[in-house]
Amino acid sequence: MTTAETGDGRLEEFLADPESSALDLATAVARCTKAVGIQHSVVYLADIQQRRLVPLTDVASPLPVDDSLAGWTYRTQSLRVEESESGGMTAWFPLLDGAERLGVLSVHSPALTPAVLRRGRALATLLAMMITSKRAYKDSFVRRTRTEPMRLPAEMLRAFLPPRTIGTAHVVSTAVLEPAYEIGGDAFDHSLTETTLHAAVLDAMGHDLASGLTTAVSLAACRNARRTGADLPELVECVDDALAHWLPDQFCTGVLAQLDLASGMLRWCNCGHPPPLLIRDQRLHVDAMRREPDPPMGLPSLLAG
């Protein structure tokens, strides 16, 4: 029998042990599960296209996001409970890194008491932080969340992308790229300050490695200017200058936007890209954001040459 006191003590020992940070995640999950006094748990990670929930180890099978209780938890970010086929109960907890959904945690116990549910939530929070800290350099995550080989341009660009979803209690920005394994010059970027949500959608000419390089330079130039306080027109100029200097034969279309979090005012620049769509109250407002676009970024130097 595990009491709250002994469970808390084991968790403190686990967190205080310097060797815990060097454990592979599967071992860390097992030890952390035991430390909080839970009988059994399984971590499921969402694949790139968010179609399947893939177990971290081979002890379980992948589950569909659209047709499973685990998928319901992932989609709604809420607790779900069911009877286990082997007896006892299973609780599904969302694994969240801020606003980003990482996957779900399955917790099995003979009975889902308030104490078990409380420990399950704590375990899900702790494991989400561990996953976030390790996934950038652990290829085991990448292998388990891919369902097919990725082309080189896509591999390169995905290394530059921010998390799929960012947000606060007031605003959420999320993006996906399809076809997920064959992107060439397509990319997105978003970031938050205390006052502003910055977002960008980019698409370089072509669908080869050169287009990926063009978008990578455009992303870097945009971020570099943004982090020095540049305004929207200045961001576009910085991308123009970077492409003219480093890739004078390439250009990139895009939409760059800034949302003021206090007033709700959205400002955007459309650089040769299809206009954004405005959907409000589940209704599409046709042509609400259609404006005469500016030239694609990098094109001025091509025309001048």
Read off the pLDDT of residues 188-200 as tens digits, 9 standing for 90 and up. 999 999 999 999 9
104: confidence class by pLDDT, cuts 50, 70, 90: very high
- Show Cβ contacts of residue 183 under 8 Å, excluding neighbours closer than 6 positions: 153, 154, 157, 158, 177, 212
Place of tokens 């409380």: 118
Q: Tokens standing for 237?
A: 């100029």
Residues 53 and 104 in one domain: yes
Residues 201 and 86 in one domain: no
Q: What pLDDT digit, counting tens, does each position of 35-80 carry? A: 888 888 999 999 999 999 999 887 789 999 999 999 999 999 999 9
pLDDT at 48: 94
Residues 154 and 137 in one domain: no
| 3-class secondary structure per residue, 267-298 | EEEEECCCCCCEEECCEEECCCCCCCCECCEC
For residue 153, is the peptide bond before it cis, meaning its omega torsion is within 30 degrees of 0?
A: no
Number of domains observed in the structure of the chain: 2
Q: How far apart are CA 139 and CA 288, in angstroms?
A: 43
Residues 263 and 279 in one domain: yes
Residues 169 and 247 in one domain: yes
Residues 117 and 189 in one domain: no
Place of tokens 């760059």: 256
Residues 195 and 298 in one domain: yes
* Of 237, 198, 196, 243, nearest in space to 218 by CA: 243
67, 136 contact by CB (below 8 A): no
Domain end among 143, 171, 192: 143
Residues 131 and 179 in one domain: no
pLDDT at 134: 82
pLDDT at 150: 92
Q: Residue length, the chain? A: 305
16: confidence class by pLDDT, cuts 50, 70, 90: low
Domain CATH number, residue 13? 3.30.450.40
Task: Give residue 241's Cα distance to chain centre.
Answer: 30
The amino acid occupying position 135 is R
The amino acid occupying position 275 is P
Q: Tokens standing for 56?
A: 């971290």
Task: Give residue 156's Cα distance to chain centre.
Answer: 17
* 172-186, 189-203, 291-305: least confidently modelled range: 291-305
* DSSP assignments along 220-236, one per residue: HHHHHHHTTT--HHHHH
252, 214 contact by CB (below 8 A): yes
Q: Mean pLDDT of all residues in the chain?
A: 89
Domain end among 90, 125, 143: 143
pLDDT at 19: 62
| 3-class secondary structure per residue, 172-224 | EEECCCCCCCCCCCEEEEEEECCCEEEEEEEEECCCCHHHHHHHHHHHHHHHH
Q: Tokens standing for 276?
A: 């954004």
What domain range includes position 96? 4-143
Residues 20 and 126 in one domain: yes
Domain end among 143, 166, 200: 143
| Whether the predicted pLDDT of 3 surpasses 60 | no
| Whether the predicted pLDDT of 208 surpasses 90 | no
pLDDT at 29: 84
Domain CATH number, residue 196? 3.60.40.10
Give backbone dihedrals phi and psi of 6, rounded to 5 degrees, phi first: -70, -35
Residues 167 and 200 in one domain: yes
Rounded mean pLDDT, 140-161 = 90
Residues 129 and 237 in one domain: no
Residues 137 and 157 in one domain: no
